Structure formats: structure tokens, C-alpha cells
Amino acid sequence: MAVYKIRCEVMSIAGDKEKCIGAAKMQKGEKFIFEARTPEGMCVRAFNAIFPSAFAMRYSDKMPWEKGDGYADVTCPDGDIVVRLTRVKDDEVQI
């Protein structure tokens, strides 16, 4: 069974803002890597939103709800940010 790292990238924030209203003030374009622990600096509310999808993607090659070339967009309820989840292949640069 493959175990992937998951790249989490803030793609957009409602209202074209540069920072979300959440506690961590995540910024558009900010990237995190999800592995066995909560990514350092990621807002816990955003983490709770991405966790189910990121966990499933970490242990599978393809999920039926993925879009395009193996990614999923997840919306955080706090600040209306969209986080794109993408598998990181072993030979890829992580961030």
C-alpha cells in the first residue's frame, strides 16, 4: 500500500482577501505538507476541514471525488478559504 504526503495549498479566500479571518491568518498561496502530524502553522479549523479527505488520499492512489489530475479542493467553513490537496510523489519537490 502506498503512503503519500499531501500538499495542502491555500488557493483562494472569499472576497479576494490575502488572509483568512481564522486564528492562524492563513494566506493565499501558503503551502503545508500533511503527513503523520498536523502541519505546523495550519489553522486547526482548516485542518479539521481537510483531514478526512487528506487522510483518505494519503493511503490511496485515487478517490472517486478527486478532480483533474489527482487533486481535491476543500472549503474551510471559517473564512471561506479553499485548500487544494494534492499527493506528493516520492520524486517530487514537496513544497
pLDDT digits (tens, 9 = 90+) for 32-41: 999 988 899 9
- Looking at per-residue pLDDT, the higher value among 84 and 69 belongs to 84
High-pLDDT (> 70) share of the chain, %? 93
Q: Which helix (H) or strand (E) holds 49?
A: helix 44-58
pTM greater than 0.85: yes
**Mean pLDDT, the chain, integer:** 87
Predicted local confidence at residue 18, as pLDDT: 77
User: Cβ-count burial of 70 within 10 angstroms (0-12 exposed, 13-18 middle, 19+ buried)?
Assistant: middle
